[in-house]
Structure 1
Amino acid sequence: MKKAIVTGFSSGIGKAICEILEENNYKVLTLKSRLEDTKALEIEVKNLLKENDIDLLVNCAGLGIFKPHEEISIPKIQELININLTAPIILSSLLLRTLKKTKGHIINIASIEATRHSKFSALYTATKSGLRNFSLTLFEELRKSDVKVTTINPDLTKTNFFDEFNFEPSENKNAHLLPQTIANTVLDILNFDGVITEITVRPQRLEIKKK
């Protein structure tokens, strides 16, 4: 049985990815450390690797904020950078030796915002575009080691990501994605005979609803 680590596993896209992996012969190992606590994260991962080889890392945990940049507090700026960008980079570093051993796969869940420049999204876009470019560059570094690296850029997906925002995806089923859609994309990527380095997944329509 292959083993995977998935961040953001408790809800939304991360939970759906865990469910589909478990249905397809993966054992998902969960991390208890807060992603912002890099020292605790390092200790936990190193202890986990004493008894496990990892075949798959899915960096799915993410936070968003969409407001004028001068209105964002410095602690919030640091929190988004830590969770959206720093933690995936650190986890990739900690797991690369085992992933080289298993000829494994890193899948980073970025965002449609990593590919464009939207109003009030400067901070979020910076973290997600950083993750996207980290992934694409890391693939080039790891090609000879047979470790695959993939970036997924989801558009509006109906999850609790929008709970604290003043907008959310419309109820029109053609205007949002479901977490299961992204999870199915992960499975397709894992089963692909080759490497999908990047994929952007979008609904047909663009509609949002103000709260």
Structure 2
Amino acid sequence: MKAIVTGYSSGIGSEISKILEKNKYEVIKLKSRLNDKKSLQLEIKQILKENDINLLINCAGVGVFKPHEEIGIDKIQELIDVNLTAPIILSNLCLRSLKKTKGHIINISSIEATRHSKFSALYTATKAGLRNFSLALFEELRKTDVKVTNINPDLTKTNFFDDFNFEPSDNHNAHLTAENIAKKVFEIINFEGVITDITLRPQRLEIKKK
């Protein structure tokens, strides 16, 4: 069984990769930057010459949370490229292989895809786009037996918050962990049906300023 996991080097992507490798998956690690479309296309084509893919997990993501007029044009493009364009392109490139294996696409979106938060307009737009892409793609692929799942995690204790002025509270009831999300991903992969959309939340809502 072979899987492509983006964002495998840290956070949720790293934990997903670990649990897959413990369960006899070979995780293929992409070398291309997700915003370099030509390199990404060439790399995927080369991978698919030698492998059939059973699982595509789009986990890489970047964020910015501040007034929209203060966000630089390059940052706007980066969020769109990494959070939305790359998963759409990777799904496009891998679909023929996934149809052969009756595989599974899992997109890690965000709680922000389901609500409208202050200073999150850009991030929300990319994640809501990813969520709706997932749900529509599932309808397209139902007859092919390719599964599509969208996951909306709430505050998760990872390095995602390193560059922000806030982070999840240390209270274990107020944040998710990357390890627990990875466990849920593995449950979803093995579910005898399709979980098309799931939101994962801690019991409490607590953040702390840095």
TM-score by length of 1: 0.99
- Cα deviation for residue 96 of structure 1 reads 0.1
Question: Structure 2 CA distance, aligned partners of 1:50 and 1:82?
Answer: 25
- Is residue 2:178 matched to residue 1:201? no
Structure 2 equivalent of residue 174 of structure 1: 173
Question: Structure 1 CA distance, aligned partners of 2:88 and 2:36?
Answer: 14
- Cα deviation for residue 170 of structure 1 reads 0.3
- Cα deviation for residue 12 of structure 1 reads 0.2
- Cα deviation for residue 175 of structure 1 reads 0.1
- One-letter amino acid matched to 1:175: A
Query: Matches of residues 11-50 of structure 1 in structure 2 within 5 Å?
Result: 11-50=10-49
Identity level (%): 76
- Is residue 2:137 matched to residue 1:155? no
Q: Give the SS at the match of 1:168.
A: strand
Query: Matches of residues 1-211 of structure 1 in structure 2 within 5 Å?
Result: 2-211=1-210
| Superposition CA RMSD, Å | 0.3
- One-letter amino acid matched to 2:190: N
Q: Which runs of 5+ in 2 are unaligned?
A: none
Summarize deviations over 1:54-96 as a string: whole Å, max 9, x none: 0000000000000000000000000000000000000000000
Summarize deviations over 1:4-37 as a string: whole Å, max 9, x none: 0000000000000000001111100000000000
Q: Give the SS at the match of 1:120.
A: coil
Moved over 2 A (4+): none
TM-score by length of 2: 1.00
Alignment size in residue pairs: 210
Question: Structure 2 CA distance, aligned partners of 1:27 and 1:186?
Answer: 16
Q: Give the SS at the match of 1:165.
A: coil
- One-letter amino acid matched to 2:146: V
Question: Structure 2 CA distance, aligned partners of 1:207 and 1:178?
Answer: 15
- One-letter amino acid matched to 1:78: Q
